Structure 1
Amino acid sequence: MGILPPSRLAPLLKGRLLAVCFGSDVDSTAMLVALHLAGLRPHVVTFADTGAEKPETMAHLDRMNAVLDGWGWDPIVVCRKVPLASTGYADLYGNCIANETLPSLAFGMKSCSVKWKQKPQDQAIKGARSGPNAAPPHPIWIDAQRTGQRIVKLIGYDCSLADIRRSRRLPAADADFDYFYPLQVLGWMREDCVGIITDVLGADHVPIKSACYFCPASKIWELFWLAASHPNLLERALVLERNALTGKHSRFDELEFGASWDELVHNADRFPSSNTTVGLGRSFSWNQWARVNRVVDDEFRVRRSEADRSRFLAAFRKLRQPDNALDAR
């Protein structure tokens, strides 16, 4: 099919009730640009803040709000789940600490994404009648109920094999929304998204990959980048991992591995091969990785000297491949 111009979106979406799920990443930023170039203005743009995004992601959110203001669009609606006061936590990190667990993705599940991203964005549109997240429905929902129209949620998945697989696993519609993938309709790959952002907004508007700083899907190059750029966040991630693997709810089996998790982290170069999740890296522990690669000292504090930071950045650049995210780092 090839690469299509943004104008091809207009006849497909014009007149529909449009809700953009903005991830503050490369793909969703390119999607906003494509909509603007197609003369399409969404009724609402939402962003789910888990409380664990990297500072660069939140800064990009501010930059894009300035862009939207220049286009005459409404600002991005930031959605954040408010837990019950009785839980004692306010964000995803606190949830993991309180429950002594890793994010669900470490176990091959996505409940944390549903709980902290999908539902808050749905509630921002549909409203909530009671509880700490109580709020009136957005006007787009009121219009949909009044007119019988379907709301189209626009998702920023590109034409990479991974995103194609993700979109094919999802339903085309549910009880409340239809789902549409503009970048896939246009045939855009990640490099096309970077190109359109650079051409229209400038290279400084190409964001980094959006993900929690303790995301189990993080690559090794991203860990080196985190150590160099945000050592305090990496330390918090290491605390979360240790809390989950040594707490009373830990699934770690000392009999299976022949030693405690702490002993293996301190004394071994790797964990024995197993289907058991042994850390934020699923098959590897971030704490063990950090010790083996001299990212942390004996107290598991991230090394902060200029020489160490230079070493981390060199490893980050060496390990990162051309197809890794294509973000601004």
Structure 2
Amino acid sequence: MSNLHSRLLDAAGRRRLSSALKDRLLAVCFGAGVDSTAMLVALRLAGIRPHVITFADVAAEKPETMVHLDRISAILADWGWPPIIVCRKVPLASTGYDDLYGNCIVNETLPSLAFGMKSCSIKWKQKPQDQVLKGSRSGPNAAPPHAIWIEAQETGQRIVKLIGYDCGRADMRRSRNLPAADADFDYAYPLQILGWSREDCVDVITAGLGPEFVPIKSACFFCPASKVWELFWLAAYHPDLLERALYLERNALTGKHSRFDEIEFGASWEDLVRNADRFPSSNTTVGLGRSFSWNQWARVNGVVDDAFRVRRDATSCARFLASASAGCVAGRGAEGAQRQAERLEGRVRGGLRAERPG
């Protein structure tokens, strides 16, 4: 092993991964974000080659994420590893939609995460990846099982799904109550086995692959977990996507499931978004941000014009970028702040530089 490899993953780390994963049937769930990218690097450094790698495409990722997916696919080919299998749920034609965004539009609702639930992830990410592994006998997603599933059934082995949760507070909280196994799969978290934080993951990707391979956060462009600085970033680089997200929210909150009426609030939802200083206090979801409406945020912060079109002039774009950078740095503290700011400004883009309007 090269000196670089030894520096990135010491002998103790290689032993821990080997002890947990060697000679197991391994299925990597690749999310195309920092953690899952670092997980691939960690496995490579430990000499552990997975049997299958899957990525769930909900047709709502930002363009940068899809470019990163292609770039990592090329790296895997150089390593002689299995290609990434892109998994997509194909709904029944009778539903009237093809993807998660269309699902929300047709049903006039918000993604389930806006209500504190995970059904979107299960329906559009987990199940399609499971179907690629296990196969499906009927319906629009019908397909034979993957070779790894056949081997598992014939030999009595258990497939281990590898998930890219790091040792940060949020991921530790997410993984703490998850089962170590279910009826079909065992689960393992290589980054937690190694004790890697998010910053460790960024450092390893930077040193092992290059700074251009450090991806942006992988998430739907209308993800309810988005932070305010991420909305500013979206306004600067992808105003069309932000407009689609704003439409989705309006469609849901003024549609057949709307809980806003003039009797309760003294004004319609549209009036509140356009004119109120703040959205009404509530214990229930009031928009894509759960505790805030994206339309209200966009209106109050001058991100949109009177027609709720995202401003595209150079001055507005510069303001959005400055707000995104400041918000990102404030959320991450001093450590790594300058590097994050540089990435946000597009100076490290891995060949993909977003065009600034104007």
Task: Tell me whether the two structures share a fold, i.e. TM-score over 0.5.
Answer: yes
- Between the aligned partners of 1:322 and 1:206, the Cα distance in structure 2 is 20
| AA at the equivalent of 1:170 | L
Query: TM-score w.r.t. structure 2 length?
Result: 0.89
2:139 counterpart residue number: 131
Which residues of structure 2 form unaligned runs of 5+?
A: 1-9, 345-358
Q: Which residue of 2 aligns with 1:100?
A: 108
Map residues 47-126 of structure 1 onto 2, 5 A cutoff.
47-126=55-134
The 1-side partners of 2:87 and 2:133 are apart by: 10
Could you say what secondary structure the match of 2:292 adopts?
Answer: coil
Residue 301 of structure 1 corresponds to 309
Alignment of 1:1-12 (within 5 A): 5-12=13-20
Q: How much has 1:315 moved relative to structure 2?
A: 0.8
* 2:225 counterpart SS class: coil
Instruction: Tell me, yes or no, if structure 1 residue 166 matches structure 2 residue 174.
Output: yes
> SS of 1:46's equivalent?
strand
Q: What is the letter of the counterpart of residue 289 of structure 1?
A: W
Tell me what 2:323 maps to: 315
How far residue 322 of structure 1 moved from its aligned partner, in angstroms, is 6.1
Gaps of 5+ in 1: none
1:5–1:186 CA contact under 8 A, matched in 2: yes
The answer to whether 1:31 aligns with 2:39 is yes
- Residue in 2 aligned with 1:157? 165
| 1:180-227, Cα deviation, whole Å (9 max, x unpaired) | 001001000001100110111000000000000000000000000000
Residue 190 (structure 1) aligned to one of 179, 198, 206: 198
Cross-structure match for 2:156: 148
Of 273, 278, 286 in structure 1, the residue corresponding to residue 286 of structure 2 is 278
Does the Cα contact within 8 Å between 1:221 and 1:319 map onto a contact in 2? yes
2:352 equivalent in structure 1: none
Instruction: Measure, in 2, the Cα distance between the counterparts of 1:47 and 1:242.
Output: 30
Residue of structure 1 aligned with 2:239, choices 231, 234, 245: 231
Amino acid at match of 2:27: A
Q: Deviations over 1:111-166 (max 9, x none)?
A: 00100011011111001000000011010000000000000000000001111111
For 2:181 and 2:84, how far apart are their aligned partners in 1? Answer: 24
Amino acid at match of 1:202: G
Counterpart CA distance in 1 for 2:322 and 2:226 is: 18
Distance 1:322 1:41 in 2: 38
SS of equivalent residue, structure 2 residue 329 = coil
* TM-score normalised by L of structure 1: 0.96
Partner AA of 1:212 in structure 2: C
Which protein has greater RCO, CA pairs closer than 8 Å, 6+ apart?
Answer: 1
Match of 2:264 in 1: 256
* CA RMSD across the alignment: 1.6
What whole-Å deviation, never above 9, does each CA across 1:269-291 have from its counterpart, x for those lacking one?
21121112111011111111111
User: Please, which moves more after superposition, 92-101 or 252-261?
Assistant: 252-261
Please give the alpha-carbon distance, in whole angstroms, between the structure 1 residues aligned to 2:16 and 2:182: 25
Aligned partners of 2:75 and 2:265: how far apart in 1?
53
In 1, Cα distance between the equivalents of 2:104 and 2:291?
A: 19
Write the distance in 2 (CA, Å) between the matches of 1:110 and 1:123.
Answer: 18
Native 8 Å contact 1:7 1:37 kept in 2: no
1:22 partner amino acid:
F
Between the aligned partners of 2:262 and 2:43, the Cα distance in structure 1 is 54
Q: What residue identity is the alignment partner of 2:96?
A: G
Distance 2:330 2:29 in 1: 27
Structure 1 residue runs of 4 or more that deviate by more than 2 Å after TM superposition = 3-8, 251-258, 321-329
SS in 2 for 1:5: helix
Aligned to 1:60, the other structure's residue is in SS state: helix
Aligned residues: 328
* C-alpha distance in structure 1 between counterparts of 2:296 and 2:14, whole Å: 47
Aligned to 1:209: 217
